[in-house]
Amino acid sequence: MQLSPPYLLFLGDAHDALAAKTAAGIAHWRPEWCLGQLRLPGCATTLGLPDMTVEEAAAQGVRTLVLGVANRGGVISDAWRATILAALAHGMDVASGLHQKIADIPEVAAEAARRGRQLADVRHFTGPLSIGTGAPRSGRRVLAVGTDCSVGKMYTTLALSRELQARGVAAEFRATGQTGIFIAGSGISVDAVVSDFISGTVEHLCPAAAPDHWDVVEGQGSLFHPSYAGVSLGLLHGAQAEALIMCHEPGRSHMRGLPHQPLPDLAECVALNERCARLTAPGARVIGFAFNTSRLDEAEGERVCKATADAFGLPCVDPVRHGVAPLADALK
């Protein structure tokens, strides 16, 4: 999955900022790729980008229309379809993070074929599948793991890859989810891969590299999430990461989406991730913590991070509030 920037971000009729969360992530991490936004009547949010029609975007050099928005019912409405067809007619690719595939809409597929444009349904992997082997490979790799879903794994790995690059270290962010793919311009949505191929797909995503090159791999889910732990374990084995960063949101009352399921104990979560990672990366260990403390005030956020750092003898930061320099230091 290889996307072509720059992008026009389609917000459709998003009713709030949450519905445009993916687009907001792209605009935050890739402002240089985001030339404008396209909003339909009823759209109640903005990314602060210039509003553009498809025609204006094409004139400014946009190469891909990005559907980075959640919609009601998961159905692509006629109002959206007209914009998609217009983008294709103006020579753009179209990339979508929706569950429904744009390539499954006959009219859209036919127009893309006629124009020779790419339709990229980034949630659906269509590349060649391979079975993982776990065979040792060169290069250095760090993976974000977590106590739960949606605790900041993507933010942490994006920030860490930037920090390493700023220090002159050869480092690359490897995207495993839809927003990460739009931001990186490539990647594989691992939770959409047939389960036999999870680890093999990740081996393909972060292949053997130069001995001092870091792949910074976005994590997904948690070994302790009853819905998605299989994805997390296949990702852990495929990444073959020598270094793990444990991501966590202090104060959560239960696992995301499952009111009956308690959060794991942090030490137990570290121990299980290390134990499982060592199947394919014998020396693997957690080298630090990334906490999302956005629901705490600043003093309390610092207190919580310091307590964890002291308890484990490892750096613990909120990447948004404190940056990730201590995590980059710990990779040396």
User: Which residues form the interface with its own copies (CB under 8 A)?
Assistant: 131-136, 190-196, 198-200, 223-224, 226-235, 237, 257-258, 260-261, 272, 275-276, 279-280
Q: How far is the CB of 220 from its own copies (least distance, A)?
A: 9
248's tokens: 């966590």
CA distance 260 to 263: 10
For its own copies, give the closer residue by CB, 161 or 178: 178
* Cβ 181 to its own copies shortest distance, Å: 16
- Shortest approach of its own copies to residue 98 CB, angstroms? 15
Q: Please report how close the Cβ of residue 11 comes to its own copies at its closest, in angstroms.
A: 26
65/178 Cα distance (integer angstroms): 15
**In whole angstroms, what separates CA 105 from the centre of its chain?**
26
State the minimum distance, in angstroms, from the CB of residue 222 to its own copies.
10
Smallest gap from Cβ 102 to its own copies, in A, equals: 18
Residue 192 vs 309, nearer CB to its own copies: 192
Q: Give the nearer residue to its own copies in terms of CB position, either 81 or 204.
A: 204
What is the spatial distance between Cα 63 and Cα 117, in angstroms, rounded to a whole number?
10
47 vs 70, which CB is nearer to its own copies? 70
Whether the Cβ atoms of residue 63 and residue 35 lie closer than 8 Å to each other: no
Encode burial over 280-318: b for 16+ CB neighbours within 10 A, e otherwise. Answer: bbeebebbbbbbbbeebeeeebbebbeebbeebebbbbb
Q: How far is the CB of 229 from its own copies (least distance, A)?
A: 5
Q: CB of 233: closest distance to its own copies in angstroms?
A: 5
Nearest to its own copies of 86, 241 (CB atom): 241
Instruction: Give the integer Cα–Cα distance in Å for 141 and 222.
Output: 19
| Beta strands across the sheet bearing 7-12 | 34-39, 7-12, 64-67, 93-96, 119-121
CA distances from 52 to 33, 77, 82 (A): 15, 20, 15
- Kindly tell me which of 100 and 261 has the beta carbon lying closer to its own copies: 261
Residue with tokens 């290889």: 2
Q: Is 56 helix (H, G, I), strand (E, B) or coil?
A: helix
Cβ–Cβ under 8 Å, residues 239 and 210: no
Residue nearer to its own copies on the CB measure, 40 or 272: 272
Which CB, 35 or 270, lies closer to its own copies?
A: 270
Tell me the C-alpha distance between 47 and 23, whole Å: 8
